[in-house]
Structure 1
Amino acid sequence: MPRVSVNGIDLYYEEHGEGVPVLGIHGTPSSALLWENAALELAAICRCIVYDRRGFYRSGRPEPFDAVDLAEHVDDAAALLEILHAAPAVIIGRSTGGEIALYLAHRFPELVQALVLLEPAVFWIDPKALAWAMELRKSVLDAAAGNPWLAAETVIRAALGSHAWDALPASFRDMFTATSPAVLAEIRGEGLDLSEKQAELGAEELGQLRQPTLLVSAEDSPEVLRLVNSRLAGALPHSESVLVSGGHLINPAHPAVLDFVRRFAAGSL
C-alpha cells in the first residue's frame, strides 16, 4: 500500500491516470476507500490522487491522538501535493474535505487551480447551519460519552439518515466505526466543522479566492447543507452551482464534476 511521510504522519494514498492533477479529499467520517470507483472514473480524464487524512482508517495518527486542527489537515494536503509534484491541482472536497479544500485554496493559492466543493462543511457561513452543526456536535459527544465507537455512526445518521447507515455493508460500517477516534479528535480540535472553535473566512477573504469553483448540492441532503452552498455562491467570485439527485454522499465523479474537470483541462473556464 503506497504511503508517504507528511508532517510526521504516514498517509495512505492512491494515484490513478495521468494529465491534470486532481486531489480528492474525503469527509468525516470516511476514507479514500469510498472514492475507489470515482477515482477510476476520474482517472480516465486526469491524474487522480486520493488519500486517507491523518487519523483516518489506513493513515497514521499521532500519539496521543487527542485533537486535530483544520490547519493540520490543510498542511498535510499541501505537503502531499508538493511531495507528489502534483501542484497546482484541481481539489475535489466532500463535506469536511470541502472545508479543507477551501482553506487550502486560501492559504496556498499557488497549489490550487480549481475547486469542486461537494456540500462543504463550512457551517459558520450561515447561522442556521452553524446551529445545526453545534447540535450535531452535542449529539456526537453525548453518544461517545457512553461508547466512543459510536461517534462516526452518530454523524452518518445525522447527515445521511438512519436508513443509510442501516443499509451499509457490514465492512463499510466497520470502516466508519474505526474512524471514531478521528471524529472525536476533530471535535476536540480547532477550525473544523464540528469543532467548538470554528474557522472563518470573511467576505473579503472569500472574494479574493480566484480559483474557478463548482459548488455541488444534493436534493435530499439536510437543508442546511444547501444553505451553505447558497452563501458560498454569493461570496466566491468565480463559482457556478449545480443541484444533483441523492443525498449528502455526492459522487466525486458525478457527470457534472467530470464535465467541470474536462472544461477546466481544456482551458474553457
Structure 2
Amino acid sequence: MPFLTTDDGVKLHYEDVGSGTPIVFVHEYAGDSRSWEQQIRYFCRRYRCIAFNARGYTPSDVPDDVKKYSQERARDDIKAVLDALKFDKAHIVGLSMGGFATLHFGFTYPERVLSLVIAGCGYGASPDKRAQFAAEIEETVKRIEQVGMDKAAEGYASAPSRVQFQNKDPRGWREFADQLATNSTRGSALTMRGVQAQRPSLFELVEQMKTITAPTLIVTGDEDWPCLEPGILMKRTIPTSALVVMPNTGHTMNLEEPAAFNQHVSDFLHSVDAGRWPKRDPRAMATAILGK
C-alpha cells in the first residue's frame, strides 16, 4: 500500500494505475480514493491515474490538531502528490471538497497544471447562504462527534442533492453510503471544522479566478442547487472555462452518471491534449444583447 509524506509530515495513501500523462483525482468530503474507481478504470487505459486519500481519511494519517486541516492544506496536498511522484504538471480532477482544492491549486500553482476539472463546487459559496451553511456545518459536526460516522453517514448520504443517486441507482448509492460509514469519525469532524467551515466563498475569489490560464471544465448537476450559481460564476470569471450542466443529476455526479461524466471529461482532455481548447473571445463578454 503506497504512501507519500507531505511537507508537514502527514502520510497520504494513494493509488497509482496506468501510464502516460498523469491525472490526479481529488475526492469529495463524503468519499475517498475509492470514489474514483469508475473513472480510474476508464481513464487508466490512456493516462496514468492517481487517486489519494485526503488527510483525515484512513489509511492516510488522521492528525489530531484541527490546524492541520485547512483549504490551503487541501490545496498543497495536491502539490505534495505531484512532488512525490515527480510530475512537473498534471491534469487535476476534483469533486466538491476536491473541486475547491482543485480551483485553489489552479490559481496558486498555475505552472503545475495541464488542465482543471472542477465538479460539484460551490457548497456554502452563495452570499445569502453563508450563515445557513455555517450553522449546518456546526450541527453536522456535533452529530458526527456524538453518534460516530458509522451512524451519521446514512443521513449525510441522503442529503437533498444525493437522493437523485439513490433513486437512480439504489445499489450504487448503498455502496457509496456504506463506504462513507467507514470514514474516520475524528477525521470527518476535523475536516469539516478545518476545511469546509473556514474556506472562503467563491464570490470572494473572483480576482484570483480571473488569473487562471489552464483549460478548465466546470461540471455540475442541474439538481445540485448549491452549485449551480457558483458554477455560472466560475464560467463567467475563468476565461479558459466551459460549463457542463448534467440533466436530472445531483451532487455525486461521477457515481450517479459515470458514463456521461467520463465522456465529458474525456472529450475535454482530448481537446486539451490536442492543443485545441479555446480561450474565450472577449467579444462574448460584451454587455450588448443583440450586438450592433
Which residue of structure 1 lines up, in the alignment, with residue 281 of structure 2? none
- Indicate which of 246, 251, 255 corresponds to 1:248: 251
Which residue of structure 2 lines up, in the alignment, with residue 198 of structure 1? 200
Amino acid at match of 2:6: V
Which residue of structure 2 lines up, in the alignment, with residue 260 of structure 1? 268
Helix, strand or coil at the partner of 1:254: helix
Structure 1 spans left out of the alignment, 5+ residues: none
Q: Which moved more, 1:245-254 or 1:161-170?
A: 161-170
Q: Which moved more, 1:10-19 or 1:173-182?
A: 173-182
Alpha-carbon offset, residue 14 of structure 1: 1.2
Separation (CA, whole Å) in 2 of partners of 1:162 and 1:145: 27
Residues 45 and 262 in structure 1, CA contact (< 8 A), matched pair in contact too: no
CA RMSD of aligned residues (A): 2.6
Which residue of structure 1 lines up, in the alignment, with residue 181 of structure 2? 177
Amino acid at match of 2:235: A
Amino acid at match of 1:234: R
Separation (CA, whole Å) in 2 of partners of 1:6 and 1:128: 36
Which residue of structure 2 lines up, in the alignment, with residue 59 of structure 1? 60
Residues 164 and 250 in structure 2, CA contact (< 8 A), matched pair in contact too: no
Separation (CA, whole Å) in 1 of partners of 2:68 and 2:193: 5
Which residue of structure 2 lines up, in the alignment, with residue 93 of structure 1? 94
Residues 23 and 47 in structure 2, CA contact (< 8 A), matched pair in contact too: yes
CA offsets, 1:98-130, max 9 Å, x none? 000111112211111211011114633x22453
**TM superposition score normalised by structure 2:** 0.80
CA offsets, 1:152-201, max 9 Å, x none? 44433224139839856766434312323222112221xx3x31563665
**Aligned residues between the structures:** 264
Amino acid at match of 1:236: I
Amino acid at match of 1:210: T
CA offsets, 1:54-91, max 9 Å, x none? 11132122245676111112121101101102231111
Amino acid at match of 1:3: F
Which residue of structure 2 lines up, in the alignment, with residue 108 of structure 1? 109
Alpha-carbon offset, residue 132 of structure 1: 4.9
Q: Does 1:3 align with 2:3?
A: yes
Which structure 2 residues correspond to residues 12-91 of structure 1 after superposition, within 5 A?
12-64=13-65, 68-91=69-92
Amino acid at match of 1:258: S
Distance 1:256 1:267, change over 3 A: same
Helix, strand or coil at the partner of 1:39: helix
Separation (CA, whole Å) in 2 of partners of 1:249 and 1:5: 29
Residues 67 and 188 in structure 1, CA contact (< 8 A), matched pair in contact too: no
Separation (CA, whole Å) in 2 of partners of 1:11 and 1:171: 23
Distance 1:162 1:263, change over 3 A: closer
Amino acid at match of 1:29: A
Amino acid at match of 1:198: P
Structure 2 spans left out of the alignment, 5+ residues: 278-292
Separation (CA, whole Å) in 2 of partners of 1:262 and 1:197: 32
Alpha-carbon offset, residue 233 of structure 1: 0.9
- Indicate which of 221, 226, 236 corresponds to 1:218: 221
Distance 1:183 1:86, change over 3 A: same
Residues 23 and 91 in structure 1, CA contact (< 8 A), matched pair in contact too: yes
Residues 73 and 100 in structure 1, CA contact (< 8 A), matched pair in contact too: yes
Q: Which moved more, 1:115-124 or 1:98-107?
A: 115-124
